[in-house]
Structure 1
Amino acid sequence: MSDTQSLIENRPPSVATLFLERVAATPAAEAYRYPVPGATADAPDEWHSYSWGEAGERVFAIAAGLTALGVRPEERVAVASGTRVDWILCDFGVLCSGAATTTIYPSTNTEETAYILADSDSRVLIAEDAAQLAKAREKRSELPHLSHVVVIEQADAVAEPGDPEGWVLSLDELIRRGTAHLEEHPDSVKDTVEALRSDQLATLIYTSGTTGKPKGVRLPHDCWSYMAKAIAQTGLVGPEDVQYLWLPLAHVFGKVLTSGQIEVGHVTAVDGRIDKIIENLPVVQPTYMAAVPRIFEKVYNGVAAKAKAGGAAKYKIFQWAAGVAREYGKVTQDNYRRTGTASAPAGLKAKHAVADRLVYAKLREAFGGNLRACVSGSAALAPDIGYFFSGAGIHILEGYGLTESSAASFVNPGEAYRTGTVGKPLPGTEVRIADDGEILLRGPGIMQGYHGLPEKTAEVLEDDGWFHTGDIGELSDDGYLRITDRKKDLIKTSGGKYIAPAEVEGQFKAVCPYVSNILVHGADRNFCTALIALDEPSLRDWAQEQETLKDKPYEEIIASDEVRELIDGYVEQLNSGLQRWQTIKKFRILPRDLDVEHGELTPSLKVKRPVVEREFKHLIDEMYEGTRAA
């Protein structure tokens, strides 16, 4: 048995055990950094830290406080909050109490929040603020099992007439109760953690889903214990790293990063405010960061739009530099694959050096200057965008996993990464491709099943442990996986041709700097069409340079002939590189971008195709007017 196999197979029974081991091993080392708003609105945030020892004290107090409230092993405690250090400490507190965390996005509406709380039988809700408390209060009569709401923001922990006595308390009060409990029972948390079994429920994550009610995915302690060990064994992160964590912790992608950290012991800077990312990067100076493709697309489109706004000469330089970056990324990755050295021909090296001084160095500086690698997951990254960042010295390691597989089933292996693939399986994870191309996974990271839904579980999880992902993919001879599409999203035209819409959509995002989202249609039709949503800030900047559109309201800009001509040019550019049956014959520009609030995007920014198709059915019908479906 190899050392890697031994470390993974002899993993401890729970992620709570790993947390206690980390606290004991490096109590004085820095664990988390978190922002505290400045004294005035104009003042910058101040960044504070917790050592592992300090984090451990708060986690123990939270765990003991929950026990004092009557929470018992495997009962559920929900967390409805944005990404912040308190989320992580509360989560570990729940796990160290023997209970299981139910995750809820703060953007989830009242009805769905109540559904998740009821379906999970959550005993306690840890709410970020008054807004999250109000959702539970409005539906309290439908939630008989919810005995307490713990509010993170002290000032918002206010009881109202009609609340049961003690129903609302602050996180500070929970910690005080836990501290008192530990004074009487000093070993209670350690004893609880020692008694945990690997198959005990640790986390209940409700899939945001693109259709129907969300399903609760049951992930036991062993999933996270395995993930922690497997991530460490990839060698992608080390104890000296600084991670910038802003992803939603209610999502499995954000959650898995907290497990990897406690095994490795590096620093994590935590701030979930999306509008602070650009401001935070030079302050945090991360060495690695995880993100979803939409973030890289926005950065690329923002840089391209800024260059275009700077005039023809500046935009021409950017286009040249972008082309050099893509070529350099492809050549160096290919050479590394063949020879083990990321080399490039002398002529390309010379061009790259010039482009680096003009463009790439500034881009790397905007990411904080120390970024060694980014991990991208949750959806496909357009290869042209991946190659651009690769050539610019910002290495994006694409990975793959689902909520049902604890997020990290595949990841690209460091220097040997290959843009357009999601890399190789984590140690201990098995993969095979079914006859119809579907990716099947098996291993310790796979869920126990869907909460209370045995029939749904049986549809995707075989008796021998193989999980049906619903994704279509291809494995290279040396084990790299390429995702081609969702099984259910493949389009078959009336002419019998199969089209992967994600592939076409990704190529358009790489050529058009103004696109935010695009949906390709064509199932059972004789040609393909597209709904295109544009990025408002980028388009406004472009419009300011147009004499006819300058200072016009956005609704006029988006509906103008000039914008249609602009996008038509990029559609023609896209079509020139596609097979005839893939080309976009007609398109419509949407009057606004897609968003979570309208229910068109999941909280992890995936497009809900059925919702968009219903909302804009009139535009789709208009494009196919006069034609017949097969």
Structure 2
Amino acid sequence: MIEEKNSLLAYLLCAPEEKIFCREMDTKRNIQEYTFGDLILSTTNLGRYLDSKEEWGEHIPIFLDTSYDFLRTFLGIVAAKKVCVPVHTIANEESMEFILKKVRSKCLVVTQKRLYQKLTKLNYVYQHIHTIFTTKEIIEEKNLPCRHIDIAEIFSQSKDLESAKSFLTNVVENTHKDDVMQIVFTSGTTGEPKGAILSHKNVISCVVRAGNHLKINSSYRTLTFLPLSHVMAQNEVFIALTVQATVQITGRDNLLHALKTFAPNILVSVPRVYEAIYQGIQKKLKNKPFARKLIDFTVKMHKLSKKASPLVRLGAFLFSKTFGHIITAKIRKNIGKFNLMVTAGAACPAHIYEFYEAISMPLTNAQGLTEVSGAIIYNQANETLNGSIGFPLPGVEVKVDEDGEILLKGDPVFSGYFEEPEWNRNSFTSDGFFRTGDLGEIQFLRNKPYVFLKGRKKEILVLSSGLNIPAVQIEERLVRHEIILQAMVVGDGQPKLAALIVPNAECCKNGDLRGEISKVIRQVNSQMDASEHIGEFEILSEPFTIENGMLTPTLKIRRPAVFQRYKEIIGHFYEASVC
């Protein structure tokens, strides 16, 4: 069991200096390796530099993609006892400027040219940023708006490992667990970004307890490709740091190549990646009807092994563990050999869980929020309960209030939003529980409080009849069909539901796209109560994306933005409606 320390740097000091901590694959598929000793030196060199002057300000925003540079910059800021502000690199200019203003930045870190060009167009950068830590290539350009410093030079200033360790030891000794480590701005589906204040205690209690719960050790090799500006991706690499495991980093464009090259034994991803793998398998099976029937039968047997009568369950279980295991062996070989597969960041559809369980590659669900430092509710592969997202980590209290909202309390839970007093008053109960905005219930099973989600407060549609409808659950049913890429259900305050549909036109078999989608909607309607039936629908020509402002960086639909964009279409759905 790993113990909880007061700083991430304390774990770095305990690591074997010669062991590889990070392997990084660049866009050209070149691989660079970095040891724990390399990380100690880079962290110390940046920490010393930032600690030597007061002019940098307290909060230092970093605009860096997932990379080794992100890790050593983050830890370097921590070593300087400054507050790191990781900003999503896919954020729009308005959000970037808002964050810079909010934390009153005096300097920032950016190494990618496209991001640099975006940032230097902002008024705030010209008026208030006096130093940009960047690359030699950018510094060589003309007409720079302020002082520029080559961050690579800082990272390599000293090679004295003993001196570096002495510096970090002093930092650790003078760090209090309640000191602020970072401010992470939540993109949110509504309103302006809000900065969640996360202390050393918040982050470390979350990652150490998660690592212990998942039984992760130094032999694990993870593949990191999710944005490190998100706490879930940070959980992944910080757990590796605490147990002295190896982090392997790549961009999404090289994901498949990296899976084969690095052969990780842990995969942490959002549901969309697992869905993409599933859809790829289904696509390959289209031209192999016999193989597809065998796979479908294996999945069916797996379901029966959980739900049928005892005798049928036994037969289905034996089939799944013998013939089923043989039938799905090739699929497992193509996906890779993983000791642990974690899905996080959004709800994973039930049929995806069932498929991976049936092929003997069960998914572990991780549920959390920025405000609780990452994932603090886990449903381990061998402890799953149908419909439950799992149970909380040790030391985390969970309960449900009279409105059905899930409340959380414990060391990983943040202290509040940065300079948002009204939000902070409304975000906590009188006894200190954080209001998650999730609706659900708790059932004590196997002596553990299993949490069952019913939806987000803001994603519950209330029909004019007063019935509450969980929009996301209906949307999940729709997008299970390959002809529908995205869907948003509307109908708040109306007598019936309607839907905006982003189609996958390539999957249209007969050229009648509207007809095929109508067929899918009729099929989905047949599986639900009459009050949940979708009436009208509109096929959209443009998908929901981060770039057009209709998805958050974590790929959740920004409902107000979509509603605003298509308010005329939505209005037409109900022009002739009568209650």
User: Is the pair's TM-score, using the shorter chain for normalization, greater than 0.5?
Assistant: yes
1:506 aligns with 2:480: no
Which 5+ residue runs of structure 2 have no aligned equivalent? none
TM-score normalised to the size of structure 1? 0.85
Q: Distance in 1 between matches of 2:307 and 2:268?
A: 24
Tell me the residue number matched to 2:154. 174
Q: How does 1:537-548 map to 2 (within 5 A)?
A: 539-540=505-506, 542=507
Which 5+ residue runs of structure 1 have no aligned equivalent? 39-44, 547-560
Tell me the residue number matched to 2:247. 268
Q: Distance in 2 between matches of 1:248 and 1:606?
A: 15
Tell me the residue number matched to 1:551. none
Q: How does 1:73-112 map to 2 (within 5 A)?
A: 75-112=58-95
Tell me the residue number matched to 2:10. 17
Question: Which is further off, 286-295 or 98-107?
Answer: 286-295
Aligned residue-pair number: 575
1:134 aligns with 2:89: no
Q: Distance in 1 between matches of 2:180 and 2:316?
A: 57
Equivalent residue in structure 2 for 1:581, among 517, 528, 531: 531
Q: Distance in 1 between matches of 2:533 and 2:301?
A: 25
2:90 alignment partner AA: S
Question: Which is further off, 584-593 or 608-617?
Answer: 584-593
Q: How does 1:66-465 map to 2 (within 5 A)?
A: 66-68=50-52, 70=54, 75-139=58-122, 141=124, 145-151=128-134, 153-164=135-146, 167-177=147-157, 179=158, 187-271=166-250, 273-308=251-286, 310=287, 314=288, 317-318=291-292, 321-322=295-296, 324-325=298-299, 327-328=301-302, 330-331=303-304, 345-347=314-316, 349-350=318-319, 357=326, 360-367=328-335, 369-465=336-432
Check whether the contact 1:236–1:413 (CA below 8 A) recurs between aligned residues: no
Q: Distance in 1 between matches of 2:106 and 2:329?
A: 51
Cα deviation, residue 584, structure 1: 1.6
CA deviation vs aligned residue, 1:65-85 (integer Å, no higher than 9, x gap): 32245467x811111121112
Check whether the contact 1:333–1:417 (CA below 8 A) recurs between aligned residues: no
Check whether the contact 2:305–2:314 (CA below 8 A) recurs between aligned residues: no
Tell me the residue number matched to 1:65. 49
Check whether the contact 1:224–1:445 (CA below 8 A) recurs between aligned residues: yes
Q: Distance in 2 between matches of 1:383 and 1:586?
A: 26
Cα deviation, residue 519, structure 1: 1.1
Cα deviation, residue 54, structure 1: 2.0
Q: Distance in 1 between matches of 2:320 and 2:424?
A: 54
In the superposition, relative to structure 1, how do residues 527 and 302 fare at CA in structure 2: closer, same or farther (>3 Å)?
farther
In the superposition, relative to structure 1, how do residues 495 and 36 fare at CA in structure 2: closer, same or farther (>3 Å)?
closer
1:490 aligns with 2:463: no
Check whether the contact 2:305–2:316 (CA below 8 A) recurs between aligned residues: no
2:244 alignment partner AA: G
Q: How does 1:39-54 map to 2 (within 5 A)?
A: 45-54=29-38
Q: Distance in 1 between matches of 2:211 and 2:364?
A: 16
Equivalent residue in structure 1 for 2:566, among 616, 619, 628: 616
Cα deviation, residue 349, structure 1: 4.2
1:102 alignment partner AA: V
Q: Distance in 2 between matches of 1:349 and 1:320?
A: 16
1:563 aligns with 2:533: no
Q: Distance in 2 between matches of 1:282 and 1:388?
A: 22
Equivalent residue in structure 2 for 1:594, among 544, 549, 559: 544
Cα deviation, residue 146, structure 1: 2.8
CA deviation vs aligned residue, 1:117-171 (integer Å, no higher than 9, x gap): 12112333111312222233222555655332112x542343532533xx21222
In the superposition, relative to structure 1, how do residues 97 and 416 fare at CA in structure 2: closer, same or farther (>3 Å)?
same
Give the 3-state SS of the residue equivalent to 2:422 in structure 1.
helix
In the superposition, relative to structure 1, how do residues 169 and 534 fare at CA in structure 2: closer, same or farther (>3 Å)?
farther
Check whether the contact 1:530–1:586 (CA below 8 A) recurs between aligned residues: yes
1:422 alignment partner AA: I
Give the 3-state SS of the residue equivalent to 1:471 in structure 2.
strand
Cα deviation, residue 196, structure 1: 1.0
Cα deviation, residue 112, structure 1: 1.8
In the superposition, relative to structure 1, how do residues 224 and 524 fare at CA in structure 2: closer, same or farther (>3 Å)?
same
In the superposition, relative to structure 1, how do residues 579 and 598 fare at CA in structure 2: closer, same or farther (>3 Å)?
same
Check whether the contact 1:253–1:377 (CA below 8 A) recurs between aligned residues: yes
Cα deviation, residue 218, structure 1: 0.5
Tell me the residue number matched to 1:523. 492
In the superposition, relative to structure 1, how do residues 285 and 306 fare at CA in structure 2: closer, same or farther (>3 Å)?
same
Q: Distance in 2 between matches of 1:275 and 1:626?
A: 47
Q: Distance in 1 between matches of 2:573 and 2:293?
A: 33
Give the 3-state SS of the residue equivalent to 1:256 in structure 2.
helix
Q: Distance in 1 between matches of 2:197 and 2:63?
A: 18
Q: Distance in 1 between matches of 2:126 and 2:37?
A: 36
Q: Distance in 1 between matches of 2:434 and 2:444?
A: 22
Give the 3-state SS of the residue equivalent to 1:133 in structure 2.
helix
Q: Distance in 2 between matches of 1:473 and 1:586?
A: 29
CA deviation vs aligned residue, 1:402-428 (integer Å, no higher than 9, x gap): 111111120113421235322110111
1:585 alignment partner AA: G
RMSD, aligned CA:
2.8
Q: Distance in 2 between matches of 1:477 and 1:241?
A: 32
Cα deviation, residue 201, structure 1: 1.0
Q: Distance in 2 between matches of 1:564 and 1:353?
A: 43
1:16 alignment partner AA: L
Q: Distance in 2 between matches of 1:362 and 1:90?
A: 41
Question: Which is further off, 421-430 or 168-177?
Answer: 168-177
Cα deviation, residue 305, structure 1: 3.7
Tell me the residue number matched to 1:42. none
Check whether the contact 1:228–1:260 (CA below 8 A) recurs between aligned residues: yes
Check whether the contact 1:575–1:583 (CA below 8 A) recurs between aligned residues: yes
Q: Distance in 2 between matches of 1:398 and 1:122?
A: 37
Aligned-residue sequence identity (percent) comes to 23
CA deviation vs aligned residue, 1:13-57 (integer Å, no higher than 9, x gap): 222323323x3xx2222211111454xxxxxx1333222222222
